[in-house]
Chains A and B, each alone.
Chain A
Amino acid sequence: MTIKRITFLQELLKFIGLEGRLHLEWISSAEAQKYVQVVTDFTDKIRKMGPNPLKIEKIDDVVKGAI
Protein backbone atom coordinates (compact mmCIF):
# COMPACT_ATOMS: atom_id res chain seq x y z
CA MET A 1 0.00 0.00 0.00
CA THR A 2 2.87 2.40 0.75
CA ILE A 3 4.12 2.13 -2.78
CA LYS A 4 0.70 2.97 -4.16
CA ARG A 5 0.35 5.96 -1.88
CA ILE A 6 3.81 7.23 -2.80
CA THR A 7 3.08 6.66 -6.48
CA PHE A 8 -0.04 8.76 -6.03
CA LEU A 9 1.97 11.54 -4.42
CA GLN A 10 4.69 11.37 -7.07
CA GLU A 11 2.10 11.73 -9.81
CA LEU A 12 0.37 14.61 -8.03
CA LEU A 13 3.66 16.45 -7.54
CA LYS A 14 4.43 15.85 -11.20
CA PHE A 15 1.13 17.47 -12.17
CA ILE A 16 1.95 20.48 -10.01
CA GLY A 17 5.42 20.68 -11.57
CA LEU A 18 7.62 19.21 -8.86
CA GLU A 19 8.54 16.03 -10.65
CA GLY A 20 11.27 13.72 -9.37
CA ARG A 21 11.72 15.16 -5.91
CA LEU A 22 10.20 12.26 -4.06
CA HIS A 23 11.75 8.82 -3.91
CA LEU A 24 10.83 5.64 -2.10
CA GLU A 25 13.19 2.80 -1.35
CA TRP A 26 13.13 -0.20 0.95
CA ILE A 27 16.38 -0.58 2.88
CA SER A 28 16.94 -2.99 5.71
CA SER A 29 19.04 -2.06 8.71
CA ALA A 30 21.57 -4.60 7.48
CA GLU A 31 22.00 -2.87 4.14
CA ALA A 32 24.31 -0.02 5.07
CA GLN A 33 25.92 0.08 1.64
CA LYS A 34 22.62 0.26 -0.15
CA TYR A 35 21.56 3.06 2.17
CA VAL A 36 24.69 5.06 1.39
CA GLN A 37 24.24 4.42 -2.31
CA VAL A 38 20.61 5.47 -2.38
CA VAL A 39 21.18 8.63 -0.37
CA THR A 40 24.19 9.60 -2.47
CA ASP A 41 22.37 8.98 -5.72
CA PHE A 42 19.32 10.91 -4.60
CA THR A 43 21.44 13.83 -3.37
CA ASP A 44 23.25 13.92 -6.70
CA LYS A 45 20.01 13.79 -8.58
CA ILE A 46 18.47 16.62 -6.57
CA ARG A 47 21.65 18.70 -6.91
CA LYS A 48 21.46 18.31 -10.69
CA MET A 49 17.84 19.40 -10.65
CA GLY A 50 18.76 22.55 -8.74
CA PRO A 51 17.12 24.09 -5.70
CA ASN A 52 13.51 23.60 -4.88
CA PRO A 53 11.59 26.20 -6.89
CA LEU A 54 9.40 26.82 -3.87
CA LYS A 55 12.39 28.15 -2.06
CA ILE A 56 13.66 30.57 -4.67
CA GLU A 57 10.38 31.79 -6.05
CA LYS A 58 8.64 34.39 -3.99
CA ILE A 59 4.89 34.25 -4.32
CA ASP A 60 4.70 37.91 -5.34
CA ASP A 61 7.11 37.35 -8.19
CA VAL A 62 5.14 34.40 -9.46
CA VAL A 63 1.93 36.38 -9.42
CA LYS A 64 3.51 39.43 -11.07
CA GLY A 65 5.25 37.26 -13.63
CA ALA A 66 2.04 35.61 -14.66
CA ILE A 67 0.18 38.89 -15.07
Chain B
Amino acid sequence: MTIINQVEQLITQNKVDIFLGYKALDGHLIPHGFTRDNLDELKDLQIGENRYSLEKIATHLTEKHPDIKIGIIARDCNQRALNLLYTWNQLNPERIETVNVNCCPSPLKPHGDCSYLEPKQSGAFKKEHGIDFNIDPDSLTESYNNNERFSRWMYEFGKCIKCYGCRNICPVCFCTECSLEHSSLIEPGTLPADIPIFHLVRATHMAGRCIDCGLCEDACPSHIPLRLLYREVNEIVSSVFDYRPGDGMEKSPFTIIGDKVVLEPKPMDAIIQGKK
Protein backbone atom coordinates (compact mmCIF):
# COMPACT_ATOMS: atom_id res chain seq x y z
CA MET B 1 0.00 0.00 0.00
CA THR B 2 1.40 3.36 -0.94
CA ILE B 3 1.75 6.14 1.54
CA ILE B 4 -0.99 8.09 -0.19
CA ASN B 5 -3.45 5.18 0.31
CA GLN B 6 -2.40 4.84 3.92
CA VAL B 7 -3.00 8.51 4.55
CA GLU B 8 -6.28 8.47 2.66
CA GLN B 9 -7.48 5.61 4.86
CA LEU B 10 -6.52 7.41 8.03
CA ILE B 11 -8.41 10.50 6.93
CA THR B 12 -11.53 8.81 5.51
CA GLN B 13 -11.83 6.47 8.48
CA ASN B 14 -11.83 9.50 10.76
CA LYS B 15 -8.73 8.33 12.56
CA VAL B 16 -7.16 11.75 12.05
CA ASP B 17 -8.56 15.22 11.53
CA ILE B 18 -5.49 16.48 9.77
CA PHE B 19 -2.49 14.75 8.31
CA LEU B 20 0.84 16.53 8.34
CA GLY B 21 3.04 15.65 5.42
CA TYR B 22 4.80 17.27 2.51
CA LYS B 23 3.42 18.68 -0.69
CA ALA B 24 5.39 19.53 -3.79
CA LEU B 25 5.31 23.19 -4.66
CA ASP B 26 7.47 24.53 -7.47
CA GLY B 27 9.89 21.67 -7.11
CA HIS B 28 10.28 21.99 -3.38
CA LEU B 29 8.54 19.98 -0.71
CA ILE B 30 6.79 22.12 1.83
CA PRO B 31 4.99 20.99 4.96
CA HIS B 32 1.28 20.69 4.37
CA GLY B 33 -1.79 19.66 6.32
CA PHE B 34 -4.07 17.27 4.41
CA THR B 35 -7.70 17.22 5.51
CA ARG B 36 -10.99 15.55 4.70
CA ASP B 37 -12.26 18.61 2.85
CA ASN B 38 -9.35 18.61 0.45
CA LEU B 39 -8.82 14.95 -0.29
CA ASP B 40 -7.85 15.67 -3.90
CA GLU B 41 -4.70 17.37 -2.64
CA LEU B 42 -3.45 13.98 -1.49
CA LYS B 43 -2.09 13.21 -4.93
CA ASP B 44 0.56 15.87 -4.29
CA LEU B 45 1.75 14.18 -1.11
CA GLN B 46 5.42 13.38 -1.51
CA ILE B 47 8.33 12.20 0.53
CA GLY B 48 11.69 13.60 -0.38
CA GLU B 49 14.88 14.88 1.07
CA ASN B 50 13.34 17.95 2.59
CA ARG B 51 12.73 17.78 6.27
CA TYR B 52 10.75 20.00 8.52
CA SER B 53 9.76 19.72 12.15
CA LEU B 54 6.20 18.57 11.49
CA GLU B 55 5.79 17.70 15.15
CA LYS B 56 6.26 21.35 15.95
CA ILE B 57 3.21 22.13 13.83
CA ALA B 58 1.41 19.35 15.70
CA THR B 59 2.35 20.95 19.02
CA HIS B 60 1.04 24.34 17.90
CA LEU B 61 -2.19 22.80 16.59
CA THR B 62 -2.73 20.89 19.82
CA GLU B 63 -2.20 24.07 21.79
CA LYS B 64 -5.12 25.67 19.95
CA HIS B 65 -7.32 22.58 19.59
CA PRO B 66 -6.50 20.14 22.41
CA ASP B 67 -8.83 17.45 21.05
CA ILE B 68 -7.58 17.40 17.49
CA LYS B 69 -6.35 14.07 16.12
CA ILE B 70 -3.22 14.47 14.06
CA GLY B 71 -1.55 12.15 11.61
CA ILE B 72 2.08 12.72 10.84
CA ILE B 73 4.83 11.48 8.53
CA ALA B 74 7.54 10.15 10.81
CA ARG B 75 11.15 9.44 10.13
CA ASP B 76 13.24 8.26 13.04
CA CYS B 77 14.06 11.80 14.11
CA ASN B 78 10.37 12.78 14.03
CA GLN B 79 9.59 9.71 16.11
CA ARG B 80 12.19 10.67 18.71
CA ALA B 81 10.82 14.19 18.81
CA LEU B 82 7.30 12.83 19.27
CA ASN B 83 8.44 10.56 22.12
CA LEU B 84 10.06 13.49 23.79
CA LEU B 85 7.01 15.72 23.35
CA TYR B 86 4.86 12.95 24.87
CA THR B 87 7.09 12.78 27.96
CA TRP B 88 6.86 16.56 28.33
CA ASN B 89 3.05 16.39 28.00
CA GLN B 90 3.05 18.56 24.89
CA LEU B 91 1.31 15.94 22.80
CA ASN B 92 -0.92 13.03 23.65
CA PRO B 93 0.17 9.73 22.06
CA GLU B 94 -3.49 8.71 21.80
CA ARG B 95 -4.18 11.63 19.49
CA ILE B 96 -1.22 11.09 17.18
CA GLU B 97 -1.08 8.60 14.34
CA THR B 98 2.25 8.14 12.64
CA VAL B 99 3.00 6.85 9.18
CA ASN B 100 6.58 5.72 9.34
CA VAL B 101 8.84 6.28 6.39
CA ASN B 102 12.47 5.47 5.79
CA CYS B 103 14.81 7.42 7.98
CA CYS B 104 15.68 9.47 4.95
CA PRO B 105 15.11 8.95 1.27
CA SER B 106 16.75 5.87 -0.20
CA PRO B 107 19.12 4.76 -1.61
CA LEU B 108 20.64 5.18 1.80
CA LYS B 109 20.11 8.89 1.65
CA PRO B 110 22.75 11.34 0.53
CA HIS B 111 22.05 13.47 3.58
CA GLY B 112 22.84 10.77 6.11
CA ASP B 113 24.42 12.53 9.02
CA CYS B 114 22.32 11.18 11.82
CA SER B 115 24.17 10.04 14.90
CA TYR B 116 21.59 7.34 15.48
CA LEU B 117 22.54 5.64 12.24
CA GLU B 118 25.79 4.33 13.68
CA PRO B 119 27.69 5.16 10.51
CA LYS B 120 30.33 2.48 10.71
CA GLN B 121 27.80 -0.31 10.99
CA SER B 122 25.07 0.71 8.62
CA GLY B 123 25.87 -0.59 5.22
CA ALA B 124 28.48 -0.65 2.53
CA PHE B 125 27.22 2.55 0.95
CA LYS B 126 27.99 4.64 3.98
CA LYS B 127 31.28 2.90 4.54
CA GLU B 128 32.28 3.89 1.06
CA HIS B 129 30.91 7.42 0.92
CA GLY B 130 31.24 8.48 4.48
CA ILE B 131 28.79 10.59 6.32
CA ASP B 132 28.85 14.32 6.07
CA PHE B 133 29.11 16.57 9.11
CA ASN B 134 29.36 13.59 11.40
CA ILE B 135 32.19 15.03 13.47
CA ASP B 136 32.65 13.44 16.81
CA PRO B 137 32.69 16.09 19.56
CA ASP B 138 35.42 14.14 21.35
CA SER B 139 37.82 14.66 18.49
CA LEU B 140 37.47 18.42 18.96
CA THR B 141 38.35 18.18 22.64
CA GLU B 142 41.26 15.87 21.90
CA SER B 143 42.78 17.80 19.03
CA TYR B 144 42.55 21.33 20.37
CA ASN B 145 43.42 22.85 23.71
CA ASN B 146 41.25 25.04 25.90
CA ASN B 147 42.24 28.34 24.27
CA GLU B 148 41.95 27.02 20.75
CA ARG B 149 38.49 25.67 21.44
CA PHE B 150 37.48 28.94 23.01
CA SER B 151 38.53 31.11 20.10
CA ARG B 152 37.02 28.66 17.62
CA TRP B 153 33.63 28.74 19.31
CA MET B 154 33.74 32.49 19.79
CA TYR B 155 34.43 32.81 16.08
CA GLU B 156 31.52 30.51 15.26
CA PHE B 157 29.16 32.26 17.66
CA GLY B 158 30.32 35.66 16.38
CA LYS B 159 28.74 34.84 13.03
CA CYS B 160 25.29 34.67 14.63
CA ILE B 161 22.80 37.10 13.14
CA LYS B 162 20.30 36.35 15.89
CA CYS B 163 17.61 35.18 13.50
CA TYR B 164 16.31 32.67 16.07
CA GLY B 165 16.10 30.15 13.23
CA CYS B 166 17.63 27.41 15.38
CA ARG B 167 15.01 27.92 18.04
CA ASN B 168 12.11 28.35 15.64
CA ILE B 169 12.82 25.16 13.72
CA CYS B 170 13.59 23.11 16.83
CA PRO B 171 10.88 20.46 17.33
CA VAL B 172 11.54 20.27 21.06
CA CYS B 173 11.52 24.03 21.76
CA PHE B 174 8.03 24.59 23.10
CA CYS B 175 8.35 27.02 26.04
CA THR B 176 5.76 29.79 25.96
CA GLU B 177 8.29 32.16 27.46
CA CYS B 178 11.76 31.92 25.95
CA SER B 179 14.85 33.03 27.88
CA LEU B 180 16.42 34.02 24.59
CA GLU B 181 13.85 36.78 24.32
CA HIS B 182 14.49 38.05 27.81
CA SER B 183 15.85 41.56 27.45
CA SER B 184 18.01 41.41 30.57
CA LEU B 185 19.77 38.31 29.29
CA ILE B 186 19.92 38.99 25.56
CA GLU B 187 19.90 42.65 24.62
CA PRO B 188 17.33 43.26 21.91
CA GLY B 189 18.25 45.09 18.73
CA THR B 190 22.00 44.56 18.85
CA LEU B 191 24.36 42.46 16.79
CA PRO B 192 26.25 40.27 17.14
CA ALA B 193 24.09 38.48 19.65
CA ASP B 194 25.37 38.40 23.20
CA ILE B 195 27.94 35.68 22.78
CA PRO B 196 28.60 33.13 23.99
CA ILE B 197 25.67 33.44 26.38
CA PHE B 198 23.00 33.26 23.68
CA HIS B 199 24.30 29.93 22.42
CA LEU B 200 25.20 28.56 25.82
CA VAL B 201 21.71 29.26 27.13
CA ARG B 202 20.32 27.36 24.21
CA ALA B 203 22.85 24.58 24.66
CA THR B 204 21.94 24.11 28.32
CA HIS B 205 18.26 24.13 27.46
CA MET B 206 18.93 21.37 24.94
CA ALA B 207 20.21 19.14 27.73
CA GLY B 208 17.82 16.23 28.09
CA ARG B 209 15.80 17.48 25.13
CA CYS B 210 17.89 17.53 21.96
CA ILE B 211 16.98 14.55 19.81
CA ASP B 212 19.76 15.27 17.32
CA CYS B 213 17.62 15.86 14.26
CA GLY B 214 20.09 18.44 12.97
CA LEU B 215 17.43 20.86 11.75
CA CYS B 216 19.03 23.73 13.71
CA GLU B 217 22.21 23.39 11.72
CA ASP B 218 20.31 23.02 8.46
CA ALA B 219 18.37 26.18 9.27
CA CYS B 220 21.33 28.29 10.41
CA PRO B 221 22.13 30.87 7.72
CA SER B 222 25.56 31.48 9.27
CA HIS B 223 26.63 27.84 9.29
CA ILE B 224 27.32 27.67 13.00
CA PRO B 225 28.07 24.01 13.83
CA LEU B 226 25.19 23.82 16.28
CA ARG B 227 24.70 20.12 15.85
CA LEU B 228 28.24 19.48 17.01
CA LEU B 229 27.62 21.60 20.09
CA TYR B 230 24.35 19.87 20.97
CA ARG B 231 25.88 16.50 20.24
CA GLU B 232 28.43 17.20 22.94
CA VAL B 233 25.54 18.25 25.20
CA ASN B 234 23.90 14.91 24.47
CA GLU B 235 27.09 13.00 25.18
CA ILE B 236 27.46 14.70 28.55
CA VAL B 237 23.82 14.07 29.40
CA SER B 238 24.24 10.45 28.40
CA SER B 239 27.40 9.98 30.50
CA VAL B 240 26.26 11.95 33.55
CA PHE B 241 22.55 11.10 33.61
CA ASP B 242 22.50 7.94 31.49
CA TYR B 243 19.67 9.43 29.46
CA ARG B 244 19.09 9.59 25.73
CA PRO B 245 16.29 12.03 24.85
CA GLY B 246 13.54 10.62 22.67
CA ASP B 247 14.77 7.06 22.95
CA GLY B 248 11.82 5.94 25.02
CA MET B 249 9.11 7.33 27.22
CA GLU B 250 11.40 8.03 30.14
CA LYS B 251 11.12 11.53 31.57
CA SER B 252 14.08 13.90 31.39
CA PRO B 253 16.34 13.69 34.45
CA PHE B 254 16.23 17.49 34.56
CA THR B 255 12.61 17.31 35.67
CA ILE B 256 13.54 15.26 38.74
CA ILE B 257 14.54 16.95 41.94
CA GLY B 258 16.73 15.00 44.30
CA ASP B 259 18.18 11.61 43.65
CA LYS B 260 20.95 9.81 45.42
CA VAL B 261 24.09 10.06 43.30
CA VAL B 262 27.53 8.61 43.63
CA LEU B 263 29.49 11.36 41.88
CA GLU B 264 32.13 13.13 43.97
CA PRO B 265 32.86 16.83 43.55
CA LYS B 266 35.99 17.28 41.46
CA PRO B 267 39.08 18.25 43.47
CA MET B 268 39.78 21.87 42.73
CA ASP B 269 43.42 21.50 41.75
CA ALA B 270 42.97 18.53 39.44
CA ILE B 271 43.15 20.60 36.29
CA ILE B 272 46.11 22.74 37.29
CA GLN B 273 48.06 19.73 38.42
CA GLY B 274 47.20 17.91 35.26
CA LYS B 275 48.78 20.66 33.19
CA LYS B 276 52.10 20.69 35.01
Contact = CB atoms under 8 A, between A and B. Distances in A.
Interface of A: 1, 3-5, 7-12, 14-20, 23-26, 38, 41-42, 45, 48-49, 53-54, 57, 59, 62-63, 65-66
Contacts of A63: 155, 158-159
Secondary structure at the A interface, as helix, strand, loop or mixed, is helix
Interface residues of B, number: 43
19 contacts: A1-B258, A3-B261, A7-B240, A7-B266, A8-B204, A8-B240, A11-B240, A14-B141, A15-B137, A15-B229, A16-B150, A16-B200, A17-B149, A18-B146, A24-B265, A45-B268, A45-B269, A48-B272, A54-B196
B141 A15 contact: yes
B164 interface: no
Secondary structure at the B interface, as helix, strand, loop or mixed, is helix
Interface of B: 137, 140-141, 146-155, 158-159, 192, 195-196, 200, 203-204, 207, 229, 232-233, 236-237, 240-241, 253-254, 256-259, 261, 263, 265-266, 268-269, 271-272
A1 B261 contact: yes
Contact of B146 (A1, A17, A48): A17
B147 A15 contact: no
B188 to A, nearest CB: 17
A17 B150 contact: yes
Contacts, number: 100
Contacts of A26: 265
Contact of B148 (A17, A48, A62): A17
Given A8-B237, A16-B196, A20-B271, A57 B154 contact: yes
B155 A66 contact: yes
A3 B265 CA distance: 7
Nearest to B229: A15
B195 A4 contact: no
Contacts of B203: 12
A45 B152 CA distance: 24
A62 B155 contact: yes
Contacts of A15: 137, 140-141, 149, 229, 232
A1 B272 CA distance: 26
Given A1-B261, A19-B271, A59 B195 contact: yes
